[in-house]
Structures are given as C-alpha cells and as structure tokens.
Amino acid sequence: MKTVLPFLTKSESTFKILIILILTINNLSYAQVDVRANHPIAMPILENATIKIDSNKGYFITEIKDKVYYVTDGIYQMMFIVTIEGVIAVDAPPSIGKNILLAIKEVTNLPVKYVIYSHSHPDHIGSAGLYPTNAQYITSSKSAAELKKHNGGKNQLPFGIFVGGKPVPIPTKTFKDSLTLTVGQRTIKLLQYNRPAHSADDLIIFLPKEKIVMLVDIIYPGWVPFEQVAYAQDIDGYINLQEELLKLNFDTLVAGHWSKLGTKQDVIKNIEYINDIITALQEAFLKVDFNTTVSKADQSNINLLMEIYFDAIAKYAAEKVENKWKNILSGSDVWTYSHARKLLSFVRESGVIMNSGK
C-alpha cells in the first residue's frame, strides 16, 4: 500500500490530516470571530498576472529599455542600470540574494559602482552586503536615519535576519528632498516623499529619459496590495503618494514585488480599488446595525462586541468590493477583507456615524 506520510498508510494519513484541520479550525475559532481560515479556497489567478520563473535558474531577468534591467524571483524585484562607468543597482532583496550578481553578469562584466536604497526595510535591501565595499551607497536622509536605528548590532533581532538578510553597508551619500544622479550619460532622479506612506522613508527612483520609475511596496501590478494595505504606515500618505507618482511621465513601473512590471494603469487601478473599499466601509457603517449584529453575544464583553461589529462592517465592504474586482485584480478574494480591517479605523476617524438602530 502506498505510503503518503512517514509510517502512515494513505487512509491513516488522510485521517490524521482531517484531525489536524479540525483542531486547527477549532482553535482558530476561539482566537477570532469567523476567521478567514474557514474559507481556504481562493479564486484562480487571473490570466497574465504572473511571469513564469525558471525553477532551476531561480530568477527572471529582462531588459526594460536601453540597458535598464529588472530581476525578479516571482516574489521580489530589483532594478539595475548599466552605464559606461559601471552598474547602478537599486535594492538587494535577500530572497533573490546572490542571483542578483549572476543576473548582472549575464549582461555586463562592469562592476557595481552605485547602490541605491529605495527605503530602509530589510526585505528589500538586506543583501546589499553582496555589492562591492567601495561602491557608493545612496539613499535619502530619512532612510539613513531609519537605518541608523535598526541596522546596528544592538537590536534583539539583527537587521534583516527574518528575511535572510544581514546588516547592510551604511549610506555614503545622503540627500534631503531630492537628488539628481548623473552617471555617464544617465540621469536618475531620486525623489523623497515628504510624509510617511508605506514606510517613513519611501523613495521614488525616476529615469526621465527612459520613462521608467521604481517605487516599492505600494503597487502590486495585476494584484491587490499585500495584506493590510501593504502595511501602510499612513493611509493618507499611501494614497497621496500614488497621486504624486501619476504626475511623472513614465511608461514602466518597477514595483518591488511579485513578478510583473507595471504601468500607470496599475497605479490608477490601485487607487480606485482602495477608494472603493473606503466608500464601501462608509456605507457599511451606515447600514450595519450595531445592536442587531451583536445581539447574540455576551453583552458584558466589550472586546467581543466590537470585534463582531467590526468584522461585520469589514465583511460587508469586502463582499461588495470583491464582486467588482474579482475579474480585474488577482487576490481580491484573499485580501480585500484584510484591507477593509486596516482601513476601518481610517474611515472611523473621518467622522462616519455608526448605525446603532436608534
């Protein structure tokens, strides 16, 4: 008889898996009201939402335009530019790691002379130590300040360790607001966003001649954002940054995540999607009756009452938005509820009146 799990027959394995699932769901039901684990099936990924990555190679590289390349492992992205003076590398995600150097060697033997940090999060720059020590490391003064807080060895968890990275080289050149970098015949504009959005130090990397822009952790081309609005620190900033991005004259967006490149249409869709959730939440606060929603719960447990109510609000909004976007952006059925929960407090603070049935 075929063995599926070690020391277990197929029937025994099936039984064990069922028991584990029952126990898992049962435990989760105590942790949160009607959690998403109760609905583990996702809709099929939409056509053209991903690029196939050679599993043996482990990465995909292509020229965007005029010796500007991007590299992806299907989860993260980085960009590099080949100039007559050497290579300019933007970011170093640990998930791609040493494959970054292999990808660069595919197209040039020139050394990496400049390294740009898009922001201070280690999942995007944690392998920067792979680059030459004599390269010039460039980022904004905001990013440098963030790195100074987290990049040292005094933290309980070393910088980048949770994503396989390490402490990175400290910036050797910083700027406030903006910097125009001229290398050979290349012009790269670095634009520091003036308020928190995804992070405290989001940076736009713009190549005006090539009409290429890189902005990380905001847009996920072909997909809804990562959970909780991509962990945005500031929702107003997150939305406004996208509006500022649209003012630039670009054709191609390197977004930092998943496999696809983006365009202005991806930015426009993302703004519309987020605004749809906000509008649906506003409607939910007016239509979902608090007293009716929590009537079956222990009325002395305020935390439980509010969790049930907020869950109902988020579900109302998510179902409405998913119905519109399910055939437009992949993952809308997976994370729209998460985005609704994140945006719920943002909408509450805007002064929406709660429906209490009075």
Indicate if the pLDDT at residue 31 is higher than 60: no
What's the pLDDT band for 1 if we cut at 50, 70, 90? very low
Predicted confidence at residue 156, as pLDDT, reads 58
Name beta bridge partners: 165.
none
The pair of three-digit structure tokens given for residue 149, joined into one six-digit string: 């807080």
Report pLDDT digits (tens) over 145-185. Answer: 999 888 765 665 667 777 777 889 999 999 999 999 999 99
* Mean residue pLDDT across the chain: 89
Cα within 13 Å of Cα(80), Cβ side: 29
Mean pLDDT of 254-271: 98
What's the pLDDT band for 29 if we cut at 50, 70, 90? very low
- Report whether 65 contacts 76 (CB < 8 A): no
Indicate if the pLDDT at residue 40 is higher than 60: yes
Predicted confidence at residue 343, as pLDDT, reads 97
What's the pLDDT band for 35 if we cut at 50, 70, 90? low
Alpha helices in the chain (DSSP H): 10-31, 99-107, 122-125, 141-150, 227-231, 235-245, 264-287, 290-293, 302-325, 332-348
Rg (CA), the chain: 23
The whole-angstrom distance between residue 72's C-alpha and the CA centroid of its chain comes to: 14
Closest CA to 210 of 168, 252, 165: 252
CA distance to 95, 167, 170, 173, 226, per residue, from 151 (Å): 18, 5, 8, 16, 24
Predicted confidence at residue 149, as pLDDT, reads 86
What b/e string do you get for 154-165 counting C-beta neighbours within 10 Å, with b at 16 or more? eeeebbbeebeb
DSSP conformation class of 161: G
Q: What percent of the chain has pLDDT over 70?
A: 85
Mean pLDDT of 90-114: 97
Name beta bridge partners: 181.
188
Distance CA 276, CA 321 (A): 6
Distance CA 250, CA 201 (A): 22
- Give the burial class of 189: count Cβ atoms within 10 A of its Cβ; 0-12 exposed, 13-18 middle, 19 or more buried: middle
DSSP string covering 28-87, please?
Answer: HHHHSTT-GGG----PPPPTTS-----TTT--EEEEEETTEEEEE-SSBEEEEEEETTEE
Closest CA to 328 of 273, 276, 277: 273
- Give the burial class of 109: count Cβ atoms within 10 A of its Cβ; 0-12 exposed, 13-18 middle, 19 or more buried: exposed
Predicted confidence at residue 339, as pLDDT, reads 98
Mean pLDDT of 340-349: 94
Mean pLDDT of 264-291: 97
